[in-house]
Structure formats: structure tokens, C-alpha cells
Structure 1
């Protein structure tokens, strides 16, 4: 017996081929036109790239889906099959939903991310202990370029369940810390004055006037401060707090401050101690006890 698909006439095959080509070309055309419109409109209005990108992808997906429907209903055997599946839509929906659970959850999560916008394209994030910039949000994945230029494609349903640190939204300023340990013999006040002095000289550290532009409640002295955070086993640990304009410059600023502080400590005699332990052997301890008794 000849398979049903072999009985299709040349006209049907040609029509299907034509629909596939036209659907592909039309989808690409729509995608390019929408991209061009966004570039043009963004020069005149403040358009959110995140929401726009999602809408653009939904429109392109509708074009592909429409072409698929046209092909289905142009082939009698597929049309009859689709009608039968539609009649049993309840069972088919369960089967399809279970088979495409991750895909559907990614799409739904992608729509939720674009709607509620916990982050936007261009924002700096820390997620999964990775720090980077959001480059795109698709229906399935969120794309992030990390600080070392790696590309992370994270499924949207995973992101929607994770705690995210957004360094860009609302207030981009960051209160960055630099930890330094000094010896117990060193002068704490001298070390503190050196750390504050080096911080205030750094061009990326915000001044009090600059901080007031973002935090009107800030008090004088809060822009740069040093606290003793721990009396450790071999060092007095100091923590320097500085404000920087955004997270993208915070790490490098911290590294440069550590270098500058180390050079000033060396020049002014503030010791940064090495870890050390005092080891007492049991034999020596017993001999010392005997000598003290004698």
C-alpha cells in the first residue's frame, strides 16, 4: 500500500515549499524592521529594551506559527490529524505539557521577567556566584557576559527561582570594602588615617558632595570610613568602607586601594603581619615544669 504522503500531488508539495520559504523570509523581514524601528524610536523616546525584545520575539514566533498552521491545513492528512488531536485536546495537552515542561516553563518565566523586570538588558548582576552584564533576554534564556568575557546562557525558569543582586537598578552606587590586617604593635590611628587618606585621593572614590546626590541622608564622614572588625589570632583587622559610582569600577578600585595602602604602610612603618603560631612541645613543657618545681 502506498503511504499517504506519496499521494500528495506536485501542487501541494510546491505550495508547502513556497509557504516555508515565504514564512522564513517574512519572519526575518519583520525581525529586521522591528529592530530598525527600535533604533529609530529609541532616539526620540525612552523605550525599554527588555520589554521591546520580548515583544519582537513574540511577533516573530507568531509569524512562524501562522506559517505552520497554513501548512497543516493545506495537507488533507495532516488537517484530519490535527482535527482529531483538537477533539482530544485535554489528553493531548497533558502529554505535550509533560513533554515540553522545561520549554514552557522557560517561556512563561521569560514573559514574567520582561513583565516584572527584576533586571533589564544592560544591568549588572550577580547570580549563581557569577558577576556580569545582561546582554539579552529571550523567551528561553537570559544571556549574560561575565567580567572575564564568558557568555552565560541561563534558562529563564532557573533565574526566576534564584536570588539576584542587581547592581544597576534604582541606585547604581556601591559601598565597597577593603580589608587590611595590621600587627598588634602597630598604631591603629595611624593605619586608619593612612587608609582614609589613600581612599580620598583615589579618583573613583566618591566625595561627600557626590554621595549626597544619591543619598540625601548621608552624614559627613560616611563617604570614607575605617572600622576595627576583628582582633584576630595574629592581626588587628581593619575594614575600609568607600562609595563608588557603580559596580563596574568597584573591584578595580578596591585592588588599587590595597596597593596604595600597602605602599604607605611600608613607608610609615605600619606592619602587615604574616600568620604565625607558637608551638610548645610537650617534652619541653614538662622539663620547664620540673625546673620551676626544683
Structure 2
């Protein structure tokens, strides 16, 4: 049977075959990814398919398609025919990968599979890794997880590292968040009035949500409970628990509440103590020490 490449000069026949395989590989990958993207854009797929797993699967499919294309190219080269058939049939592929890839790369790929399978977080979740890095999960690739922080920076963490760290996920099963609003008031202040002001100001905030159970509503439990949590050296600590429907709204609720509480406390004369320090010197020692130490003199 004649081939379409028989009319090509023998010197360029191998090159034309390889170019054709490469073009077909790119076209197949483009077509498959386009179909997946179209399914992803449909309402049916959006409602039933996890975007995190879908993005991970697209990258994995691309790797497989390009791997098949590379194997097909190798089978056309006589010197590499055995390697090409091994790559296509899958025989010895683990040995090939193990010889070419480092342990760290393989660890990241395996960890990526574990993240997608067990779903400790997904694309769009806001997470904190080991208390150091906080951001929204933007993408999970075969090698790394990409976070976008509040300053629009990208934090790139290898999958093997993030899978072994403690991760705080604000969106794992519930987007709602409880913000703790804590204020210290002076011992001479009207404690009951301060607690009432805290409840009134926080309840008025438009981002506050009611998280009371039906039983708590029947018992007239406050929407925002306020408790005395500590009797400090110079102040009484009041703590309020306020709920918002998302971490972003919770942050705004907390910030606005501090501003409103400071304004209301100033209006009614409730003191918010702050540290004050008085330093006393024996007669004559102050002048001598200031002269000896210029840094201390500047501090005073």
C-alpha cells in the first residue's frame, strides 16, 4: 500500500513524518482541551463537576497526549525504535520516568493527585498554610499550588510541601465565619453600658448575620453575645462574637466595629486604657546617665 509520504524525497521523508506527528499531536490536544472547556462552560458541567479536579485532569490529559506523540516520533527513528515502543505500550515507563525525573518532581505529582482526590482545599478557597502564607487558591498544577494573597502576589508552594503542612481552610465546608471583637475598658467605666454599646453597634452592621438556633431565638439569646473574658492589670476585657457570611465580609465587619465602638465610647466617656510608663530617677543620676549615653538621651 502506498503511503502519502512516498512522493516525498527520501532525504526529507523522515522529517516530514515527524512534523506530521507533531502537528497531529498538537491538534488532538487542542481539540480535546477545547471539548473539555466547552463542557466546563456549560451550566450542567458547572453544577456537577469540581473545577479543581477538572483543571488537574486537563493537564494530565495533555501530558498523556504529548507522551504518545513523543513515543510515535521515537518509533519512526530507527536508533530509538525500542524506546518509542516501550513508551507507547507502557512497558518500562516507570523505569524511564524514574531515570529522567527526580524524586522531588515525582513527589509533587503524587501529592497533587492526593490533593485533588481528598480535597482538603479547592480552587477559590481561602487558606492559610502553616500560619505563614494566606491567600486564595488560584490553581493546582501537577507540580505546585498557586495562592493569590491580599496584595495580588502569587505564592507558589510545591504540592509535596503543602500536602504535609497544616492548612487552615476558611471555605472547606462552610463559608460563614465568626469574628472575635475584643475591647478593653477602664475599671472606672460603666461595664453594663459598655457591653450594651458593643451589642448595639455590632448588631447595626449590615454584614452581620444571625447564627442563632431556633432554641436560642425562643430563649431571646442575643444575636451578638458579649462576655467579660479577663480582668487585666489596667483594663477589663470585653469580647463579642459576630458572624458574617464570608471571610472578606467578616474582615470588614470587624474593622468597622472597632471604629464604631471607639466613636461611641468617646461620646459617653468610656475609657479605653493604653499602657503608660513613668520613670523616676534619684537626684543627680539622671543628668549623669544622659550625658554618658546619647542614645538614652534621645529616648528621653
- TM-score with structure 2 setting the length: 0.79
Cα separation, partners in 2 of 1:175 and 1:45, compared to 1, 3 Å:
closer
Tell whether 2:161 aligns with 1:166: no
Cα separation, partners in 2 of 1:166 and 1:91, compared to 1, 3 Å:
closer
In 2: Cα distance, 1:29 partner to 1:89 partner: 26
How many residues are matched?
270
Comparing 106-115 and 54-63, the one that deviates more: 54-63
The structural deviation recorded for 1:153 is: 2.3
Q: State the superposition RMSD in angstroms.
A: 2.9
Deviations 1:236-294 (A, max 9, x none): 2222211111212111110000000000000010011221124444679xxxxxxxxxx
Tell whether 2:144 aligns with 1:141: yes
Which residue of the other structure, out of 13, 34, 37, is the alignment partner of 1:35?
Answer: 37
* TM alignment of 1:1-294, pairs within 5 A: 9-40=11-42, 42=44, 45-80=47-82, 95-96=99-100, 99-128=101-130, 129-207=132-210, 211-212=211-212, 220-221=220-221, 223-281=223-281
The answer to whether the 8 A contact 1:198-1:260 is kept is: yes
The answer to whether the 8 A contact 2:105-2:143 is kept is: yes
Deviations 1:185-232 (A, max 9, x none): 22222111111110111111112xxx14xx667575364122223333
Cα separation, partners in 2 of 1:141 and 1:216, compared to 1, 3 Å:
farther
Cα separation, partners in 2 of 1:91 and 1:37, compared to 1, 3 Å:
closer
SS at match of 1:179: strand
Deviations 1:151-178 (A, max 9, x none): 2222211111111111112222211111
Cα separation, partners in 2 of 1:260 and 1:118, compared to 1, 3 Å:
same
SS at match of 2:180: strand
SS at match of 1:224: coil
In 2: Cα distance, 1:83 partner to 1:52 partner: 30
The answer to whether the 8 A contact 1:182-1:235 is kept is: yes
In 2: Cα distance, 1:132 partner to 1:93 partner: 33
The answer to whether the 8 A contact 1:223-1:243 is kept is: no
Cα separation, partners in 2 of 1:43 and 1:92, compared to 1, 3 Å:
closer
The structural deviation recorded for 1:81 is: 5.4
Comparing 14-23 and 87-96, the one that deviates more: 87-96
In 1: Cα distance, 2:139 partner to 2:172 partner: 16
The answer to whether the 8 A contact 1:132-1:144 is kept is: yes
- TM-score with structure 1 setting the length: 0.81
In 2: Cα distance, 1:174 partner to 1:218 partner: 19
Residue of structure 2 equivalent to 1:292: none
The answer to whether the 8 A contact 1:127-1:165 is kept is: yes
Cα separation, partners in 2 of 1:105 and 1:223, compared to 1, 3 Å:
farther
Deviations 1:11-45 (A, max 9, x none): 11221122222212321222122111111253674
In 1: Cα distance, 2:29 partner to 2:194 partner: 65
